[in-house]
């Protein structure tokens, strides 16, 4: 269901016109208005869900299939050396629009896009495994 106050719902459902790269009954794919790299695309489900926790399993599966198709097409179209397929959940993880969406970001050797982290020494693997398994 569409949320009338959500900018991504409006874009995905044609309330705000935007040319898409791809569209079907479930998603619309557009170019990011503030791209991290040349060719940066967004996959927007037409139904509203704030994040992956609230999204129907069928939509998650469909978005993954579309992400594969779009990643390959964008890579070929813009001559990228690689592709990041990213999805952020909640503000602490970098989500700025509270509508589930997937970023397809072309990467070029030597570009300045920074999607990295410093590995931490973590001697708590057993504890984390037990806690997560308990929540599943």
Q: Is the pLDDT of residue 130 over 80?
A: yes
Domains of the chain (ranges, CATH numbers):
7-135 (3.30.428.10)
Q: What are phi and psi of 27, to 5 degrees?
A: -135, 160
The pLDDT score that the predictor gives to residue 56 is 96
What is the average pLDDT across 2-30? 96
The pLDDT score that the predictor gives to residue 100 is 98
Distances 82 to 36, 86, 109, 114 between C-alpha atoms, Å: 14, 13, 8, 13
Distances 23 to 66, 98, 126 between C-alpha atoms, Å: 10, 21, 43
Q: Could you tell me which residues are beta bridge partners of residue 43?
A: 29, 102
The pLDDT score that the predictor gives to residue 97 is 97
Catalytic residues: 101
The pLDDT score that the predictor gives to residue 5 is 94
Q: Is the pLDDT of residue 121 over 90?
A: no
């Amino acid at each position: 269901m569409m949320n009338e106050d959500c900018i991504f719902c409006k874009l995905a459902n044609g309330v705000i016109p935007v040319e898409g790269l791809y569209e079907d009954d479930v998603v619309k794919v557009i170019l990011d208005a503030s791209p991290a790299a040349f060719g940066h695309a967004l996959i927007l489900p037409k139904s509203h869900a704030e994040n992956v926790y609230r999204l129907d399993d069928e939509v998650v599966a469909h978005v993954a299939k579309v992400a594969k198709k779009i990643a390959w097409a964008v890579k070929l179209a813009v001559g990228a050396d690689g592709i990041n397929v990213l999805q952020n959940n909640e503000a602490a993880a970098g989500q700025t629009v509270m509508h589930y969406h997937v970023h397809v970001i072309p990467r070029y050797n030597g570009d300045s896009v920074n999607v990295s982290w410093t590995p931490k020494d973590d001697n708590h693997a057993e504890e984390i495994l037990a806690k997560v398994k308990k929540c599943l």
